[in-house]
Structure 1
């Protein structure tokens, strides 16, 4: 079989390229007509680079403006309906005001269903009446899980428990860090009776010591069963900051899921680890979060101030870079989580073994 049509098509493409190069207005022709001196080449590269940089700057500015607009829109859509009803049914409200409030309420409902923009997008309250957060060190609850804890403590009839697996004795400050943990949790809305702080010698606060998954798993399982926990939240396999103790907590909880030892009504969720750029985008990571995550919590600047004040209770950990962290880190404003099932655990265990 002959492919005459293919050879004719290729010949036509070649002739078009040759004609475009030989055209006087073609940039390739203009470059050929110029003297190919180092100065000419440098000027050409400089002008092209400046144009590309300008496009990048414009794209970044547009992205930041879109994120700011979505951030404002998110909290407008998440405004409680009772507030709108009170404004609409106020005794002194005029007919026109009531009509505007009614239109605003209908617009809010339409955008909520269409855009899926909500400041809190978590499983239903009935599935999360008793929640356990498993952390590795004191201050993890503020540095990484602050938005989630704040959102859960604002729910009615939601009991939040903290299981901290080490006493933070890396710098021989266990007693001080214990007191800091208690004060921080109280500011986040967690009562002292809901805090479980372990003091196990085989689980030291040390990145150079590998925690045994079976030891961690037994502590988690005992806490889940004794407190009748319905949902577990902890780190994912990357541990947010790649701290070995954080990763060990995930693999311990994942082993319970893999062995089918968790109660049937207990769900397992992990906090998403993200790349370094997104980690320090603050509220400007909102667009990526809403499109790439299943569950999330987004705090306003005023709500995030509560998390910052709780983090400030950990004065022993407030180095200069932590001050930058609490104002620039995305984890002080946004948490995104995903539910882990058996197939996810099997896949990640295979990745870990490889």
Structure 2
């Protein structure tokens, strides 16, 4: 039997084969594209959720346990990193709002250097009762005690701070004002010392105004 005498149309079969291969290629290409787009979209959603929520979740460390001094017992020299690294890192954090504790500390030193403030004149207080968190309410007596200690030990005669509004409405800023007000109202502040505050309503031009005990009492009455 000659090849041309075949009962099948080989040309048609070849065309069907080519069409099948082409359609299969297009199908798998589109499938791979859809899978890639879906995977990339999923990763983007995961990143957004992580940055917005997961990073802000409080871990069960010192804050949750209410502990002030922590003892970590391990069996080997590498255990502290392999199994307790995140916990130790979290326990040693100071002023780490939004994970920028080290950056903010370096920025403070660099800014003071540019402003001409000697390094030995910078006092950075690390206190677990005063977290760097706009949602945290700092205890006024604690802040007042720290400020009063600095006033006495450093022989300060003039104090500059925020007013009741905290200039930018930051709760930690306002807590500093209330602590200073507490010192004045309780007459802990010696009369020979002067107080100036940055007025919130003049934030743009950064105006300072000297205030007295009567001004502070008026501010507190308005706040009530």
Matched with 1:30 is none
More strand by share: 1
Matched with 2:126 is 199
Matched with 1:335 is 206
Matched with 1:345 is 216
Residue aligned with 2:98, SS? coil
Matched with 2:78 is none
Q: In the alignment, is residue 251 of structure 1 matched against residue 122 of structure 2?
A: no
Partners of 1:174 and 1:221 in 2: how far apart?
25
Matched with 1:126 is none
Q: In the alignment, is residue 237 of structure 1 matched against residue 143 of structure 2?
A: no
Query: Which of 57, 79, 99 is residue 172 of structure 1 equivalent to?
Result: 99
Matched with 1:218 is 145
Partners of 2:107 and 2:217 in 1: how far apart?
37
Deviations 1:298-331 (A, max 9, x none): xxxxxxxxxxxxxxxxxxxxxxxxxxxxxxxx3x
Matched with 2:192 is 265
Matched with 2:117 is 190
Q: What pairs with 1:133-172 in structure 2 (closer than 5 Å)?
A: 168-172=95-99
Report the structure number with the largest CA radius of gyration.
Answer: 2
Contiguous gaps of at least 5 residues in structure 1: 1-166, 280-329
Shift of 1:175: 2.1
Matched with 2:8 is none
Partners of 1:224 and 1:177 in 2: how far apart?
25
TM-score computed with the length of structure 1 as normaliser? 0.36
Q: Which runs of 4+ in 1 moved over 6 A?
A: none
Q: What pairs with 1:305-320 in structure 2 (closer than 5 Å)?
A: none
Matched with 1:64 is none
Contiguous gaps of at least 5 residues in structure 2: 1-93
Greater relative contact order (Cα 8 A, min sep 6): structure 1 or 2? Answer: 1
Partners of 2:222 and 2:206 in 1: how far apart?
25
Q: In the alignment, is residue 227 of structure 1 matched against residue 98 of structure 2?
A: no
Shift of 1:223: 0.5
Partners of 2:113 and 2:151 in 1: how far apart?
22
* Aligned CA-pair RMSD: 1.4
Shift of 1:222: 0.3
Partners of 1:223 and 1:251 in 2: how far apart?
16
Shift of 1:263: 2.1
Partners of 1:345 and 1:242 in 2: how far apart?
18
